[in-house]
A and B are shown apart, each in its own frame.
Chain A
Amino acid sequence: MAAAAAALCRRAYTTSMPPSAHVDVAIVGGGMVGSALAAALNANPLTRQLRILLLDRQPPLALPRQVPEWDDLCVSTLTAPTVDILRELGVWRSLSVAAAPFCDMQVWGADDGYVRFDATAVGQAVMGHVLEDSLLKAALHDQLRARGSTVQLMMPATAVAADLPPYSPAAQLEGGSFVRLQLDDGSSLTTRLLVGADGCSSQVRQWSQFRCSGSEREQASLVATVATSWPNQTALQRFLPTGPLALLPARGGFSSVVWSCPSQMAAQLQALPRHELAAAITSALTSGTHYPPKPRLGELLGGILASARSTRFVAPPTVTAVVGHGPRTFLQTAQHAGRYVRPRVALVGDAAHSGHPFGLASQGVNLGFGDAKVLAAAIADAVATGQDIGSAAMLERQYERPRRQPCSAMLSAADALRAIYMPQEGPVAGLRSLGLDIVNNTPLLKQALLRIAMHGL
């Protein structure tokens, strides 16, 4: 069986650059967010003529002819606005066959109480899509290498240092005003705008000397692709005292598991034989004195609040086997950069904000796509009005200000959930099940949360 990753052809792709080249936009990081930004800039006639450089440590990916049978471990849940962006970029057509849609989501804890969201409640057929990160990246990389693309790819290439212009315009008059970026092969280039799309341990963020708020503590996430006793069609997320465990419907009836827990525990889980890991996942989803959770309030109020079918508890399927490459563990820290911009620098995606996988569905990459869209629009507007695309004032007004609020809100929502679910004792434990229950039985509140889960804030 051809392994999914092997199907994605990796090969170096470097447009040769003369030494000391000058570009308009240099994007460090060809992950999902950096690639989406490059594709968005290339899609707009106003920005296509800019000299855009995308660089990444890794060679670019290419979509395989045939969609692999199961997921390549790392998957993301894509919200409707993200799918809209991908559609606009012209990559959704090739991805839609591989993306697994789901129309409802259920969240519950270790105690009684649960909440179930149904897209039909807000008049939508689909709540989101589950798709491998690697396929999404591959489709974007293909797009960037297609005819008509003017984006230069330097992959693999690593940015090792940057010389940033000072904040003060007077000092810029003295010391030059572009960014000088050093690459690992010893070459360097200057750029009008440097975009840090280099993930949660962003170098660009460090060079910019942005302070970061967030937990020091790393949360580990174990990811695996599993087969289940019946095809799972609901995005299931159980908040365990050790962290959330998600079972996401994936292509071909398989499911993706994202199990966040302390790193020691993740290491132990990863060391288990596959069949034991499968059993552990099932038991984590279904065990406990309060399983299956009872809708407490619902019982009290009978049919008054509880609206029929869509509030019923969906029992998770039994995990029968771990398939594919087997479990892998990722470390995540929740971080939020104090600033996203400075003269000639902007951060997007996880470089600006990375969350722990708490939340109604981990919103990480969806926030990142939002960043890419808004930044690309800001750059296009700057071009249209003759502004400097690296101007700190423009970046602040047109990019940072509109993005900070939704990003903070989403990170705080995740923090709140974490605060509610991590402690085991005391009144909070009772409150949280009650809380979920209230949500589940209050249509308006539920719809509001559902909209957030589906569309972001």
Chain B
Amino acid sequence: MRKPLSELLATAGRAAASQALHSWLISQPSVACLSSLSRSSWAASADFSGTAGSTPLDVPVLKQQQPVPVPRTVGGAAAGGVLRQQAPAPAAGGAAARGAASPSPAAAAAAAPAAAAGGHGSTVNQQEAAKFAALAGEWWDPAGPFAPLHAMNPVRCRFLRTALCSAFGRDPTQPGPLAGLSLLDVGCGGGLLAESLARMGAHVTGIDVNQGGIATATAHAALDPDLHARLTYRTASAEQLVAAGECFDAVVASEVVEHVASIPAFCSALAALARPGGGVAISTLNRTPRSYLAAVLVAEHVLRWVPPGTHDWQRFVTPEELAAQMEESTSGGGGGAPLRLQLLSGMQYNPVTGAWSLGRDTAINYIAWFGKPPGGGASPRVAHG
């Protein structure tokens, strides 16, 4: 259930919005003509501006953040919307947080006990899962249904490289800087991100509740003898891993949060899976008028990058909300010290070059790193360097 467009336009300022629509209609329909609008014309666009400049690392416009004063209560009016607090999905609601495969009964069956076994309930939303399962398994076709993820992958990897190198004291100018780190890729799908992280030297465990994605990822990893040994894929949910007491140097959830049923529960699970001294990386879509235009109207309905109905805009979360959530879920849930937002970057698509880049503008896509303080004397495990 989306807000009607007219309501959005009212929020945003009618003149600016109609100008946006105009340029969007006359030019090649693109995300960027929307993002080229002046930011100030969008009342609701989220921005952590006003903080320090860029890092000396290879991420161009990245903010090193001190813990920001974020609203403690989720859904504050300042954030421009209410984060939907959803009840955990029914136990039978297995399937994908993000994934693609035929909606096979086997997958659903396998996922069902998964959710039950978790004991914490599952954050996986049944309807959301069905939407993704309906996309056929063309994970590795850069021109296929996951083309946007393929295009975005180098950029999120650049961010993760910088974030992880700085968190674990690695030299980002060297090849394989993540050697020895254990990473968890939650909602790994066909393994696109997991393989890249493994190429940077990390030992990566990819989990997804969608068996089709896991099967694809496993088969694809087998093609590459260099990566094979550093990749493990499992059909599992984050909650299951928490229940099993597993822990990783860092946990990554890329383009997943917008599809889970309960963001608080999901964030708690991610936080619990990260080792003290490590952290959690999340990339997702912001909830702003521009992200509505870009991710829902343009990407789903005009460019048809992703099938209509892929995204539910109201489910999107702003960086402020996410930061509050990460902090809350750990301090409340007894998982040790709260995770703090340490790095944040926008990810922008340039329709002329077809390339993504990191930048200041977080109004549509953003990626964030939340550090988990080394609690109780425990230091991050920097395994076999």
Taking Cβ atoms with an 8 Å cutoff, the residues of A that contact B are 22, 45-49, 168-170, 172-173, 176-177, 381-388, 391-394, 397, 401
Contacts and interface: CB of A to CB of B under 8 A. Distances in A.
B13 to A, nearest CB: 35
B372 interface: no
Contacts, number: 74
Interface in B193-213: 195-200
A169 B138 contact: yes
Contact of B158 (A48, A168, A384): A384
B223 A384 contact: no
Interface residues of B, number: 35
B220 interface: yes
Interface in B139-155: 139-144, 150-151, 153-155
Nearest to A173: B219
Contacts of B153: 385, 387
Given A45-B175, A173-B219, A392-B142, A384 B58 contact: yes
A177 B143 CA distance: 17
B351 to A, nearest CB: 13
A168 B223 CA distance: 14
Given A386-B196, A386-B199, A397-B354, A46 B175 contact: yes
9 contacts: A170-B140, A172-B223, A384-B161, A385-B196, A386-B157, A388-B195, A392-B142, A393-B150, A397-B151
Contacts of B195: 386, 388
A168 B175 CA distance: 29
Which 6 interchain pairs have the tightest Cβ spacing? A386-B196, A393-B142, A169-B140, A386-B199, A385-B157, A385-B154
Given A45-B174, A393-B142, A385 B161 contact: yes
Given A169-B140, A397-B355, A386 B223 contact: no
Given A49-B175, A386-B197, 14 more contacts: A45-B175, A46-B174, A48-B175, A49-B176, A169-B141, A169-B142, A170-B138, A177-B224, A384-B172, A385-B161, A386-B196, A387-B196, A392-B142, A393-B143
A375 to B, nearest CB: 16
B175 A383 contact: yes
Interface in B100-155: 138-144, 150-151, 153-155
Interface string B151-189: 101110110010000000000111110000000000000
A381 B175 CA distance: 10
Given A173-B220, A397-B355, A381 B140 contact: no
A394 B142 CA distance: 9
A314 to B, nearest CB: 43
A388 B227 CA distance: 11
B173 A46 contact: yes
Contact of B142 (A382, A384, A391): A391
A394 B223 contact: no
A45 B175 CA distance: 7
A173 B216 CA distance: 9
Given A46-B174, A384-B58, A385-B161, A176 B354 contact: no
